[in-house]
């Protein structure tokens, strides 16, 4: 399964050091991944993404996706290498964790950068083999938005800027379904089923 993106507290050039002509790999079709695709495309990057179905990948193309990988049908590491002529990915943001994080490291290009932002895969953490990273001058970075909101001066104004982008239509938020608060268990079950595309909202 797959990764996501740069935290909303970061510009595409900060944690990920993303810029024109670089390749960003976004894994997943959730709210973070959908935002990542749009922001990376705006930064001039070539955008790859993974999702659990071809239907989701087709929908992501409307948001800026260049090429998709169905991770149910294909090995996402091998496909990432194939789609980049063996070079690998410049920036990967991994929100899945577990065994996927090791795969993300294997998919990195020379001087590639992987940002780990969560454990959405809900599998136990695994010991990572980082022996190949030093020789390839690669970087693994951890990021937790909650800490930035408490101690960092950058998060609040950057989030405010993204909200302005949403209000102006420059950044799209995809709402998959809404549930009344009384049906919170059903909402969580739907998210756990991995059928969602975008955000699932609880309405008071």
What's the pLDDT at 14?
47
Confidence label for 5 from pLDDT (cuts 50, 70 and 90): very low
Rounded to 5 degrees, φ, ψ at 114 are -115, 130
Check whether residue 118 and residue 188 sit in a common domain. Answer: no
Comparing 22 with 50, the larger pLDDT belongs to 50
Do the domain assignments include residue 164? no
Q: Has residue 11 got a pLDDT over 80?
A: no
The beta strand positions in 96-174, using DSSP E, are 108-116, 139-142
> Are residues 132 and 65 part of one domain?
yes
Residue 96's Cα: distance from chain center in Å? 9
Q: What's the rounded Cα separation, in Å, for the pair 179 and 199?
A: 11
Cβ density class 126-149: b for 16+ within 10 Å, e for less: eeeeeeebeeeebebeebebeebe
pTM of the model: 0.82
Residues paired with residue 89 on neighbouring β-strands, in sequence order: 108
Return the SS3 of 28: coil
Residues 96 and 183 in one domain: no
Question: What's the alpha-carbon Rg for the chain, to the nearest Å?
Answer: 16
Q: Is 170 left (phi over 0), alpha (psi -120 to 50) or beta?
A: alpha
pLDDT at 122 over 90: no
Indicate whether 139 and 186 sit together in one domain. Answer: no
- Residue 130 sits in the same domain as residue 178: no
Is residue 106 domain-shared with residue 184, that is, in the same domain? no
What residues does 24 pair with on adjacent strands?
47, 91
* Count of the separate structural domains present in the chain: 2
Average pLDDT, the chain: 84
pLDDT in tens, 54-88: 999 999 999 999 999 999 999 999 999 999 999 99
Are residues 135 and 179 both part of a single domain? Answer: no
**DSSP-derived 3-state class of residue 30:** strand
pLDDT in tens, 174-194: 999 999 999 999 999 998 888
Q: Do residue 109 and residue 201 come from a single domain?
A: no
Domain that holds residue 142: 23-148
Confidence of residue 43 (pLDDT cuts 50, 70, 90): confident
At residue 137 the predicted structure's pLDDT band, cuts being 50, 70 and 90, is: very high
Judge whether residue 96 has pLDDT over 80: yes
Q: Is 108 helix (H, G, I), strand (E, B) or coil?
A: strand
Cα dist from 1 to 20, 52, 102, 133, 136, whole Å: 26, 8, 11, 21, 24
- Name the strand (E) or helix (H) holding 186: helix 184-192
Chain mean position to CA 161: 19
Highest mean pLDDT among 44-58, 144-158, 175-189: 175-189
């Amino acid at each position: 399964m797959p990764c996501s993106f740069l935290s909303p507290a970061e510009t595409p050039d900060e944690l990920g050091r993303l810029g024109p002509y670089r390749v960003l790999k976004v894994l997943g079709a959730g709210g973070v991944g959908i935002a990542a695709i749009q922001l990376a495309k705006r930064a001039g990057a070539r955008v790859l993404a993974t999702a659990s179905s071809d239907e989701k990948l087709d929908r992501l193309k409307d948001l800026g996706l260049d090429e998709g990988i169905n991770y149910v049908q294909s090995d996402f590491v091998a496909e990432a290498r194939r789609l980049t002529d063996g070079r690998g990915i410049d920036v990967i943001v991994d929100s899945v964790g577990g065994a996927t994080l090791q795969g993300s490291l294997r998919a990195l290009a020379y001087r590639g950068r992987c940002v780990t932002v969560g454990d959405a895969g809900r599998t136990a953490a695994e010991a990572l083999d980082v022996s190949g990273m030093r020789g390839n001058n690669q970087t693994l970075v951890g990021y937790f938005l909650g800490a930035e909101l408490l101690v960092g001066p950058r998060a609040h104004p950057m989030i405010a800027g993204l909200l302005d982008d949403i209000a102006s239509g420059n950044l799209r938020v995809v709402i998959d379904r809404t549930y009344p608060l009384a049906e919170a268990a059903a909402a969580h079950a739907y998210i756990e089923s991995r059928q969602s595309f975008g955000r699932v909202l609880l309405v008071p």
